[in-house]
């Protein structure tokens, strides 16, 4: 198994890509801390992993709150004694009705960029103690290009995640800690961005995807799995784009 006996925190693991990551990690031998603000959904994912023979716990997490990050790390150490992997997956969508809202800008930056920073800030000391680890941050193609139908605060936050990943990679490599990012393209709509679920808008967006379809959650999850695993032991500060060829145009 690719993550045998690894201890992994996956944020936003109650649904979508995060849920897929948590389940795949567990199947690959990891002990998974399912972290999500949605307690019912996250608790169900953890319970189903355990029922299937895996090892998982659920911990509530609002990624924008430092105190809740401290609680997740404490719960992880209490149960498993160390931390090997952090996947900063949780975030909110930029597919919003008003693309010029300051309130939405503040929310996007606070949750997506600050939340990712807080995750790294709290995980890195524990990984140093353990002698190494792997962090995978979920950015987006929106962190690489501008878009006409996405709030610029989303692009800004995802770009911040992209470059923070590289900064952390070069600063913490000497401790055996690898930090990489995954950049999904068109995926199933996020719960926090139902404007992105409009069928007409999605059909138009698909016209620009060479593979002519949206990605599946597990397709992003397997990219994360690779970067989290020892198979990527000489990869840090890198990005994997999972977009059906969109950025290749």
Going by C-alpha positions, the residue among 84, 42, 46 that lies closest to residue 63 is 42
Distance linking the first and last C-alpha atoms of the chain: 36
CA distance 95 to 174: 38
The structure tokens 């995807």 sit at 209
Cα–Cα dist 114/95, whole Å: 19
pLDDT tens for the chain, residues 1 to 249: 999 999 999 999 999 999 999 999 999 999 999 999 999 999 999 999 999 999 999 999 999 999 999 999 999 999 999 999 999 999 999 999 999 999 999 999 999 999 999 999 999 999 999 999 999 999 999 999 999 999 999 999 999 999 999 999 999 999 999 999 999 999 998 765 555 567 887 888 899 999 999 999 999 999 999 999 999 999 999 999 999 999 998
Predicted model pTM: 0.96
246 counts as catalytic:
no
Which one from 80, 105, 154, 246 is the annotated catalytic residue? 154
Q: Which domains does the chain have, with CATH numbers?
A: 7-238 (3.40.50.720)
């Amino acid at each position: 198994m690719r993550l045998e006996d690894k201890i992994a925190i996956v944020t936003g693991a109650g649904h979508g890509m995060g849920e897929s990551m948590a389940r795949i990690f567990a199947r690959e031998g990891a002990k998974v801390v399912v972290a999500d603000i949605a307690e019912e959904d996250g608790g169900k994912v953890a319970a189903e992993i355990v029922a299937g023979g895996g090892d998982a716990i659920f911990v509530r997490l609002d990624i924008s709150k430092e105190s809740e990050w401290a609680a997740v790390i404490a719960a992880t150490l209490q149960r498993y004694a160390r931390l090997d992997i952090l996947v900063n997956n949780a975030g909110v969508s930029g597919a919003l009705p008003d693309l010029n809202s300051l309130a939405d800008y503040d929310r996007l930056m606070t949750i997506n960029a600050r939340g990712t920073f807080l995750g790294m800030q709290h995980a890195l000391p524990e990984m140093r103690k353990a002698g190494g680890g792997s962090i995978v941050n979920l950015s987006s193609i929106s962190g690489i290009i501008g878009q006409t139908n996405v709030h610029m605060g989303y692009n800004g936050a995802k770009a911040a995640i992209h470059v923070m990943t590289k900064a952390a990679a070069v600063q913490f490599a000497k401790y055996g800690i690898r930090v990489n990012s995954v950049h999904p393209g068109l995926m199933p709509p996020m719960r926090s961005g139902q404007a992105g679920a409009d069928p007409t808008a999605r059909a138009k967006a698909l016209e620009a995807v060479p593979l002519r379809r949206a990605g599946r959650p597990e397709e992003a999850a397997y990219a994360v799995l690779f970067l989290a695993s020892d198979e990527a032991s000489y990869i840090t500060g890198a990005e994997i784009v999972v977009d059906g060829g969109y950025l290749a145009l």
